[in-house]
Structure 1
Amino acid sequence: MSLQSENSPLLGLTFLGQQQRTLPRKDQKRTNDGSTNDQTKNMMWTVLISSAALLALFSLQGNMQREYNSPHPPSDGTASFEKDANLAEELLSRFEKRHTHQTPLYSKVQTLSFQIYTGGAPAFIDGVPNDECINLNSYGQAEDAVDLQCYLGLDDSAEDVQRRLNIMRNAVDKAYDVSDRNDDTLKIFLAPEFFFRGKNGAFEFINEEQEDENGECSDICHILKGLEDIVADKRFENWLFLFGTVIGSEVLPKADDFGYQFYNFAPLYKGFDPATSKRIGKNFIVPKRYVSNIDFLTPLRHLTNRSIAMELLDEHDPSLAGTLMNPHLVGHKRYDNEMWAKYKDELSSLGYNMIEYGWFFLDGIAFSVEICLDHLVHRALMTYMADVVTGSKTRIPSSANDSVNWVGIPRHQAQISLVSSAGMDVVVASLALANGGHIFLQDGTDGDMEPLTTYGTDECQPNEYEFFGGSQCVKRSAVISATDVTFEYEHNMNFTDVNIYPDGKWKDVIDGIFSKEFYEPRLTVYDPVDITLVEHDD
């Protein structure tokens, strides 16, 4: 099956199938009177194939019975076809358990968190207009904020994407240089939310009717292809990458105006050696569900008080209309994730699997993954609990050995949890961790804050732990005794900060893409920790 560019708003790709064969008409008859007619022949083939399938099924059942020592009871009057269905369901369940209960490929995990400011740039610095924002015409305010900000980015969106990819590659290369080299240690590269967003607040999905001016695929297509190129490297066979998030928008034509759909998703990849492995089961999309009040700036054209910016720009400049509207301000509380469901088959065909519910397995290890506000509203935990009370029917991707299967959410919860955010901390009430499991969070606005743990300082939650810092790693353990049931928390402080640009030229590298007014990009490199072992319920 061949690929052609720019007919899909997702990746800029569409599928062109092989030319269709002309099928014989149903009313055409065979000329050989002695031959079997098509209908009878098809029926015979169906019977033969069904018989072979049943024989194979019973043979497999016999092997499984011997392996698991769980023979079926003698005949109890149940219809044979119902027994066959129950048997097939049982065998599928056992296959699923084999896939999720395999020995984990790794015994330790090391997280290398990418600290870089991904929020808006300040419009004023000590009352003076910030040079970073001048001539961009992308000013706005976050909800409930008083300070004016601007989105940063380049007029040439293709160049903007390439610059961001280069910065990400710099961080990944530095992470490799300082990482643990043991093959039994899973390395996790974790970047913050909003890393890919562009000067108008989002990169636009290209509709198939629109002409693509950037070549074979759109900006978002270039982002994903660029990230795929980074991870396809022998160095990264034992790495998992969560590359922050991509903000996308899609213009929807209306009869008299234009509306938008909004997307915020995290590209997640398992590294591999292209010479010895396939890309199957290595690429994932993690959609964010909930829109935060700080996800977007409210553009000047929608502010009731514009006097704060009158000295900065000409209100009649037509480019002001390019800044994306703030969906949260008009009651748009969720991202338009229906698009992901619509293009789910296309994603699979392109080698991507969707992590719809915030849960997945990788090489026998159970993960949860959330983006910023989704963590605060307990998305992974709520999915877990809802799945339990509805019969554990939810299916999540499980990747191992160049393959993907769809399995149940683990009853023991996550051995490792990941959060990519911009303005979020680890929330105790949101944790869905196995006993001894770890959560790793990387934020895009608090990178200059030293890690800190408090207890009982919040009047609304006097008996809760709170964690702060741009990079956070917290371990949760359960304690059950005759007199108490509680959880204990350990904020991991065993890390080293590493400069990505030791020559001091970091401002030149991020100029025009990320604000230089906050903190220098760096890595927070944690010492390897044990991946907690879990017991399975069967």
Structure 2
Amino acid sequence: MTTPGWQRVRFIGYAIPTAPAQMVPLGSPGGGGSLGGTYLGLPDAESDIAGRLGILRAAVHAAREALPDDDEGVLNVFAVPEFFWHGPQGPYLFGTGETDPVDHLQTLLEREFPADEYADWLFLFGTAITAQADDPREVFSRATTLVRNGVVADLAARYRRASGEDQVKVFDMVEDYLEWGHAHPVLQVRNRALLMGGAPLGTPRGAFGGRVATTEKYVDSGEDFVLWDTTGRADVVTEQMIAHAFIDLSAGDLKRRADDAHAIARLAPDAAAPVDVGVEICLDHTDARLRQGLPRNRWPRDAGDGIELQLVPSCGAALRAASVAVAAGGYAFNVDGQFVVGDGFSPTGAGPVFGVASAWGNHVAPANPRYQAHTQLARVDRPASGGDAKSPSSTTATFERLTADDVAVVGVPLRAMTDTFFAGGGGAVHIYGLREALPLSSS
């Protein structure tokens, strides 16, 4: 493989709705809410992964066919929203001694997108949800599971009948009960993002020995999982049953191994101009996970002024200015599977989004406009200083002006079984820098 020499970068976001089917919102999903719904997918994890991989393949090929023939020196960054990979019970469930579905998925992804064909690509393949359960039937029939699901279903029903202050108080009760459930989980779940390079991934000390690395979410949301199944199923994992694993970030968020829970890796570590990238899953971005770690990270930059690419896969989030941990000239890129941004329903646009000057693209499912997705790109002018945004000595990043001309929309051919996996259809691809790729700060 030739040594990468990227001078420019292009961002490709797969805007596909990844929220559950039959959504019934409580509160305001995407801004402190929860929801009922039902998970789509196939009961067998390998069959489910194969079906979703076919949809992903169509999106990658659609993007690749749209790119210009003369693409030398350009790094293509392709990203997918949170929750792209899951089964009809929510997480892929597996027992002790069984193959972790994420390990199987990694093997398939490396085979599907080989390095010799995608040498100048960096993929963020969304997130995969898993949980270890040796006897799922026992988990779902356990007394605490039945009690929790009954309490939340009853509160949700009363919330929908209430109005005004009564509704606010009932929702407060739901949130309090979810917090208690997170503190006393029935299942520990893992929400892992999959990062894969055409070039190796690693650290300044060298490559990991492979092209794929994972990172893991740690913040418990109120809407990562449904509160109740709207079809009446009892064998699904609900929000009140789960917690994410604790991740020790006291020494920063730099990866040591490809499969550890940390978030910052180096693409092409042996190249003259490697690229440092951090992945922050949904609410972890709102919690400023990467920015808080800046003072504790010994690399990527000696000055500690940030990474070059900050990738945020989400299902209910947008970029947050106080959370951006990117160096001057670097980029923050959000791909979301739940809502639209900007002026609402325009397919592309540019301007401030929750205080972040950015270019953006929206997708609304033609058959059901409740199912939405967006992509959002921002380029940092002046980087943040300090890890704590509220410290008097800290400053928040500022952003360069991007234009809607930087965003192109490419359709994704529908596959016969798309609605088996995604309630909002096959989505669309948004390409930032299709006609003229953007400058890469590492060059």
How many angstroms apart in 1 are the aligned matches of 2:234 and 2:48?
A: 20
Q: Which amino acid aligns with 1:201?
A: G
State TM-score, norm by structure 1. Answer: 0.56
The equivalent of 1:168 in structure 2 is 56
Could you list the per-position Cα deviations for residues 279-310 of structure 1 after superposition, in whole angstroms to 9, with x for gaps in the alignment?
A: 9242101111212111110125xxxxxxxx6x
Rate the CA distance shift 1:355–1:279 in 2: closer, same or farther, 3 A.
Answer: closer
The equivalent of 1:108 in structure 2 is 8
Rate the CA distance shift 1:260–1:236 in 2: closer, same or farther, 3 A.
Answer: same
How many angstroms apart in 1 are the aligned matches of 2:260 and 2:34?
A: 36
With a CA cutoff of 8 Å and minimum separation of 6, indicate the structure with the bigger relative contact order.
2
The equivalent of 2:440 in structure 1 is 531
The answer to whether residue 420 in structure 2 is matched with residue 512 in structure 1 is yes
Which of 256, 263, 271 does residue 358 from structure 1 map onto? 263
Q: Which amino acid aligns with 2:192?
A: F
The equivalent of 2:209 in structure 1 is 280
> Aligned to 1:269, what secondary structure does the other structure show?
strand
How many angstroms apart in 2 are the aligned matches of 1:478 and 1:146?
A: 35
Query: 1:196 deviation in Å?
Result: 0.3
The alignment yields a C-alpha RMSD, in angstroms, of 3.7
Max Rg structure: 1
The answer to whether residue 322 in structure 2 is matched with residue 440 in structure 1 is no
How many angstroms apart in 1 are the aligned matches of 2:397 and 2:103?
A: 47
Which of 291, 297, 302 does residue 381 from structure 1 map onto? 291
Query: 1:142 deviation in Å?
Result: 7.3
Rate the CA distance shift 1:295–1:410 in 2: closer, same or farther, 3 A.
Answer: farther
The equivalent of 2:84 in structure 1 is 195
Which of 233, 237, 245 does residue 324 from structure 1 map onto? 237
Query: 1:184 deviation in Å?
Result: 1.0
Which of 272, 292, 308 does residue 415 from structure 1 map onto? 308
Query: 1:513 deviation in Å?
Result: 0.9
Q: Which amino acid aligns with 2:16?
A: I
Given that 2:22 and 2:38 are in contact with CA atoms closer than 8 Å, whether structure 1 keeps it comes out as: yes
Aligned positions of 1:209-358 closer than 5 A: 217=99, 219-251=101-133, 259-271=186-198, 280-300=209-229, 313=232, 320-326=233-239, 329=240, 335-336=244-245, 353-354=258-259, 356-358=261-263
Given that 1:113 and 1:523 are in contact with CA atoms closer than 8 Å, whether structure 2 keeps it comes out as: yes
Query: 1:163 deviation in Å?
Result: 0.3
Which of 511, 514, 522 does residue 428 from structure 2 map onto? 522
Q: Which amino acid aligns with 1:108?
A: R
Q: Which amino acid aligns with 1:376?
A: T
> Aligned to 1:247, what secondary structure does the other structure show?
strand
Count of residues paired in the alignment:
343
Query: 1:183 deviation in Å?
Result: 3.0
Q: Which amino acid aligns with 1:511?
A: D
Given that 1:474 and 1:492 are in contact with CA atoms closer than 8 Å, whether structure 2 keeps it comes out as: no
Query: 1:152 deviation in Å?
Result: 0.6
State TM-score, norm by structure 2. Answer: 0.67
The equivalent of 1:472 in structure 2 is 376
Identical amino acids, percent of aligned pairs: 22
How many angstroms apart in 1 are the aligned matches of 2:211 and 2:76?
A: 15
Given that 1:192 and 1:443 are in contact with CA atoms closer than 8 Å, whether structure 2 keeps it comes out as: yes
Query: 1:272 deviation in Å?
Result: 5.6
How many angstroms apart in 2 are the aligned matches of 1:366 and 1:335?
A: 26
Query: 1:105 deviation in Å?
Result: 2.7
Query: 1:158 deviation in Å?
Result: 2.5
How many angstroms apart in 2 are the aligned matches of 1:157 and 1:252?
A: 15
Q: Which amino acid aligns with 2:290?
A: A
Query: 1:325 deviation in Å?
Result: 2.6
> Aligned to 2:83, what secondary structure does the other structure show?
coil
How many angstroms apart in 2 are the aligned matches of 1:486 and 1:233?
A: 35
> Aligned to 2:50, what secondary structure does the other structure show?
helix
How many angstroms apart in 1 are the aligned matches of 2:396 and 2:15?
A: 36
How many angstroms apart in 1 are the aligned matches of 2:224 and 2:34?
A: 16
Rate the CA distance shift 1:485–1:186 in 2: closer, same or farther, 3 A.
Answer: closer
How many angstroms apart in 2 are the aligned matches of 1:410 and 1:365?
A: 16
How many angstroms apart in 1 are the aligned matches of 2:403 and 2:222?
A: 30
Query: 1:110 deviation in Å?
Result: 0.8
Name stretches of at least 5 consecutive residues in structure 1 with no aligned partner: 1-102, 125-140, 301-308, 314-319, 340-346, 396-406, 459-463
Given that 2:407 and 2:432 are in contact with CA atoms closer than 8 Å, whether structure 1 keeps it comes out as: yes
Could you list the per-position Cα deviations for residues 484-517 of structure 1 after superposition, in whole angstroms to 9, with x for gaps in the alignment?
A: 998344245212111111xxxx2634021111xx
How many angstroms apart in 1 are the aligned matches of 2:60 and 2:76?
A: 11
